[in-house]
Chains A and B, each alone.
Chain A
Amino acid sequence: MDLKGRKITLHDMTLRDGMHPKRHKITIEQMKSISQGLDAAGVPLIEVTHGDGLGGASVNYGFPAASDEEYLGAVIPLMKHAKVSALLLPGIGTVDDLLMAKDIGVHCIRVATHCTEADVSEQHIKMARKQGMDTVGFLMMSHMNSPEGLVKQAKLMESYGANCIYITDSAGYMLPDDVRERLKPVRDALKPETELGFHGHHNLAMGIANSLAAVEAGANRIDCATTGLGAGAGNTPMEIFVAVCNRKGIETGVDLWKIQDVADDLVLPIMDFPVRAGRDAITIGYAGVYGSFLLFAKRAAEKYGLSSRDILVELGKRKMIGGQEDMIEDTALTMAKARDAKKAAVAS
């Protein structure tokens, strides 16, 4: 498809989704240097929060190196052009967190719900809109809903006041056809002035292909992360997607050389392990499981002598959704009990 001259907004996830593979321990100094690099490279929008959004600091998801307020307060004053966004999951964060973010200078709030539960976002979307913020409705795990179902959920969020709706492939499960099938009807159903976005994961290495399919289907906001730093096998790698956009004539406003330098010089060195499609991340994409379960499943597998792949597949069977990290150790414990019972039966 000819996409020459299409203007899109790239939204950087390195300092939010990238918190997952960093166990939410990115330091304030790293946040500052990476965000300044992104700003200088022309990235217009940068997300900064705990990986699970405002208020995510918890036993369940992990305690971060600093509070949301400290991270945002450190990054926002340094930005010359870029605006900063914050993620908020109703049920985890509240309107109080939203107002804190607004006061500290956050420009854009992204209110995220599971793809069938948009009506829990009414309080938050309405408040963000009332505050005059760029207000995004973010439908997670969108592979678990039909195109018609997503249309309904997207329209709910639009009716509360969201000026942009995201179809989010949290599990990195979708293939380009899945993306087109879902985004086109949503694009057609929304008001022309409501923006449409896509957030991809690279578990089946479809981040770039899916993002391109999303632009073809009418999306004008695309989430990327430098080096792909994000949950599972990471997000759509920004430095590659910018190169692809340049080839297609899609205008992003991001400098290809500078963003590559941010990736290689600033982000790659902070990785704790290679964020890539290893066996667990592929399983997440293949089984359609929430991306940030990866490290939790690895830890539980180690603790209880199980295979992380088996745990992830079991979580998929049990239809666990985003935020149910508490069920990972629970599932591992139940699997370990079943294994021990079997062993005992064989022994007797």
Chain B
Amino acid sequence: MGNKIKCAVIGPGNIGSDLLVKLQRSKVLEPVWMVGIVPDSEGLKRAHELGLKTTAEGVDAMLPHVKEDGIQIAFDATSAYAHEENSRKLTALGVLMIDLTPAAIGPYCVPPVNLAAHVGKHEMNVNMVTCGGQATVPLVAAVSRVQDVAYGEIVATVSSRSVGPGTRKNIDEFTRTTASAVEKVGGAKKGKAIVIINPADPPLIMRDTIHCLTVDTPKVAEIEASVQAMIKEVQKYVPGYKLVNGPVIDGNRVTIWMEVEGLGDFLPKYAGNLDIMTSAAARTAEMFAEEMLSGKFVPAPTAA
């Protein structure tokens, strides 16, 4: 097993459980710990059955084992409030944090847009924005690489069943972090994000709408080509990322309607919001793992 980087997943909820399935398929990552805070958690039970070490006592209970178990990467799928402490404790031990909460302490990573920019930076904390951000920021970037975008607005609609208690308590962090990534990674001068939780049964597949207001008249053909190319990039790790309608051009408005169908790893296929988040996180971690395995990146403890 010398050719895999060992990792821990913190938070055995929807996102953590889905991520675990994906990590088990990875050629360069090996999940060894699952950390929770609720003793009778289903997610912890599942992880235990899969042969991971588990604790319901939070990150503190894992800290003494980090060295002996060789954990080099930790994924945080808890909440924005909990992440800061988790990150502080783990990076102090030299563990690289992949943050799946909207805490956004570290720089944003939206793989098809800026994964390459993180190579060689030796960052110890990288933030995965939000599921809505992963699903929409690539397309804001697809428009902004053609021409200046004065305003980018995204609407992410997710099924009620796919939204766990962490996200619900952190809904403001979700909208703020997504809006900020629309600007910083998507390249829009101003960003706005809206999230809708729809309780329909059977559950609706994740839908995402991207509105861009361009500074000058939209260059229709170039935008169409750029959008199609970006969709192909995302499909490399989320095959169910599909264009439903658009791009529709109306004056300076460019609108694109997407659907994100998941792989059905943990929750059924409607929960594409889980897949796009966990697939992006796994892809990001794999990039860092390859750097570590080749000796280009040796994570060092960060002073608290």
Contact = CB atoms under 8 A, between A and B. Distances in A.
Interface of A: 58-60, 90-92, 94-96, 114, 116-117, 119-120, 122-124, 144, 318-321, 323-324, 326-327, 329-330, 333-334
A96 B253 CA distance: 27
Contacts of A60: 153, 155, 194, 209, 211
A114 B194 CA distance: 14
Contacts of A94: 172, 175-176
Given A319-B200, A330-B209, A334-B244, A91 B194 contact: yes
Nearest to B195: A91
B125 interface: no
Interface in B233-276: 244-246, 248, 253, 255, 257
B156 to A, nearest CB: 9
Interface stretch (B5-13, B30-38, B65-73, B163-171): B163-171
Contacts of B176: 94, 96
Given A59-B213, A333-B245, A334-B244, A120 B194 contact: no
A119 B257 CA distance: 28
Given A59-B211, A116-B160, A91 B257 contact: no
A336 to B, nearest CB: 10
Interface of B: 151, 153, 155, 157, 160, 165, 168-172, 175-176, 192, 194-200, 204, 207, 209, 211, 213, 244-246, 248, 253, 255, 257
Most chain A C-beta atoms within 10 Å of own C-beta, residue among B165, B176, B196: B196
B191 to A, nearest CB: 11
Contacts of A120: 168, 171, 197
A117 B155 contact: no
B218 to A, nearest CB: 14
A321 B199 CA distance: 9
B172 A90 contact: yes
Given A117-B197, A122-B169, A323-B196, A330 B213 contact: no
Given A319-B200, A334-B245, A58 B160 contact: no
A144 B192 CA distance: 29
B245 A321 contact: no
30 contacts: A59-B151, A59-B213, A60-B209, A91-B175, A91-B194, A94-B175, A95-B172, A96-B176, A114-B197, A114-B198, A114-B199, A116-B160, A117-B160, A117-B197, A119-B169, A120-B168, A120-B171, A122-B168, A123-B171, A319-B204, A321-B196, A321-B199, A323-B196, A324-B196, A327-B207, A329-B245, A330-B244, A330-B245, A333-B245, A334-B245
Q: Most chain-B CB neighbours within 10 Å: which of A58, A59, A329, A334?
A: A59
B192 A58 contact: yes
Nearest to B202: A319
Contact of B153 (A59, A114, A320): A59
B209 to A, nearest CB: 4
Contacts of B248: 329, 333
A114 B199 CA distance: 9
A330 B199 contact: no
B171 A91 contact: yes
A266 B221 CA distance: 49
B160 A92 contact: no
Given A59-B213, A330-B209, A90 B194 contact: no
Contacts of B199: 114, 116-117, 144, 321
B198 A320 contact: yes
Nearest to A115: B199
Contacts of B207: 327, 330
B135 to A, nearest CB: 13
Nearest to A94: B172
Nearest to A320: B198
B215 to A, nearest CB: 15
A91 B197 contact: yes
A301 to B, nearest CB: 15
B101 to A, nearest CB: 15
A324 B257 contact: no
Given A96-B176, A123-B172, 12 more contacts: A58-B192, A59-B153, A91-B197, A92-B175, A92-B194, A114-B198, A116-B160, A116-B199, A119-B169, A123-B171, A321-B198, A329-B255
Nearest to B179: A94
A58 to B, nearest CB: 6
B244 to A, nearest CB: 6
Contacts of B197: 91, 114, 117, 120
Contacts of B198: 114, 319-321, 324
Contacts of B255: 59, 329
A292 to B, nearest CB: 14
Nearest to A56: B194
A334 B248 CA distance: 12
Nearest to B172: A94
Nearest to B151: A59
Given A60-B153, A117-B199, A323 B171 contact: no
A114 to B, nearest CB: 7
Nearest to B192: A58
Contact of A324 (B153, B157, B168, B192): B157
A321 B257 CA distance: 17
A91 B170 CA distance: 10
Contacts of B168: 117, 119-120, 122
Nearest to B201: A319
Given A319-B200, A330-B244, A333-B248, A58 B194 contact: yes
